[in-house]
Structure 1
Amino acid sequence: MTEERTPDRREDQKEFAEEEASLLKITLGPLIWAAHFVVCYGLVAVTCAKGWDIGAVRIGLGGLSALALAGVLWVGWAAWRQWGVTTTGDRVNRLGSAEDRHHFLGHAAFLLSIISLIGVVFVSLPLVLIGGCQ
């Protein structure tokens, strides 16, 4: 017979903090992508409308794109570690335990980071391929 015990308050707070961080990881990759999108397209539109130097803006946005890629990669790496597929070998978490939910949130955050990485690259392509405002 297994003995069930009720978790104490500190264990509950620790588990809640971990899940809160997991939910933040899920939203952080797409949030970086969305902010990058708005800044890139907004700044290029204002630059073309005001007649500012597009070359300097492209260099600045290239640096911003590199920072966005680094941020999304960092979130993806943290989500990969949370998923724990390399340590557990379990790609699918079928049980409904708290640990499985924690791994699933890491898996979801990792996949969203991949999508966000692709989004940042595609938003950055016009900076490289298009010459200027016309």
Structure 2
Amino acid sequence: MSERKEQLEEFAEERASLLKITTGPLIWAIHFVICYGLVAVNCAKGWDIGMARTGLLVFSVGALVAIVWVGWGSWRQWNLHETGDYFNSWGRAEDRHHFLGHAAFLLAIISFLGVVFVSLPLVMLGGCS
């Protein structure tokens, strides 16, 4: 009975790890769609872009904070400081858990950079024309 409970706990941890892998890129994708969609609607309707820019910059900061939070949790899951193991080559459940943390951490870095690059036109461009 305890072996079954162990397997269920391990599965729950791996499911959370897989969710963590998708969270960073999902935040980036949602940020991309909202930013470009809102700017396109503002320019098409001739509305004031200043208010939208301010709101999107605040939204961008929120997206960056969320990605940093996911990245921090992934870094802790990777557990590099305690294990000292950059490579998880044994294939044990613990190694898979650390590998998923490593992958989620790297995806969080890429997602962070993606949000920054999507936000750059909000800062650098003057308006719709």
Give, as a single letter, the amino acid of the residue that structure 1 aligns with 2:34. V
Which runs of 5 or more residues in structure 1 are unaligned?
1-5
Does 2:49 correspond to 1:54?
Answer: yes
Does 2:109 correspond to 1:114?
Answer: yes
Does 2:30 correspond to 1:8?
Answer: no
2:19 matched residue in structure 1: 24
Which runs of 5 or more residues in structure 2 are unaligned?
none
How many residues of Structure 1 are paired with residues of Structure 2 in the alignment? 129
Task: Name the larger-Rg structure.
Answer: 1
Query: Which runs of structure 2 are paired with 1:32-47 in the superposition (5 Å)?
Result: 32-47=27-42
Deviation at 1:8, TM superposition (A): 2.0
SS of alignment partner, residue 8 of structure 1:
helix
TM-score of the superposed pair, with normalisation by structure 2: 0.97
Deviation at 1:113, TM superposition (A): 0.4
Give the RMSD, CA atoms, in angstroms: 1.0
Following TM superposition, the consecutive aligned residue runs of length 4 or more in structure 1 with deviations greater than 6 angstroms are none
TM-score of the superposed pair, with normalisation by structure 1: 0.94
Deviation at 1:51, TM superposition (A): 1.0
Identity %: 68
Bigger shift: residues 6-15 or 80-89: 6-15
SS of alignment partner, residue 96 of structure 1:
coil
Alignment counterpart, residue 125 of structure 2, candidates 120, 126, 130: 130
SS of alignment partner, residue 90 of structure 1:
coil
Distance 2:10 2:49 in 1: 49
Does 2:90 correspond to 1:95?
Answer: yes
Distance 1:51 1:123 in 2: 22
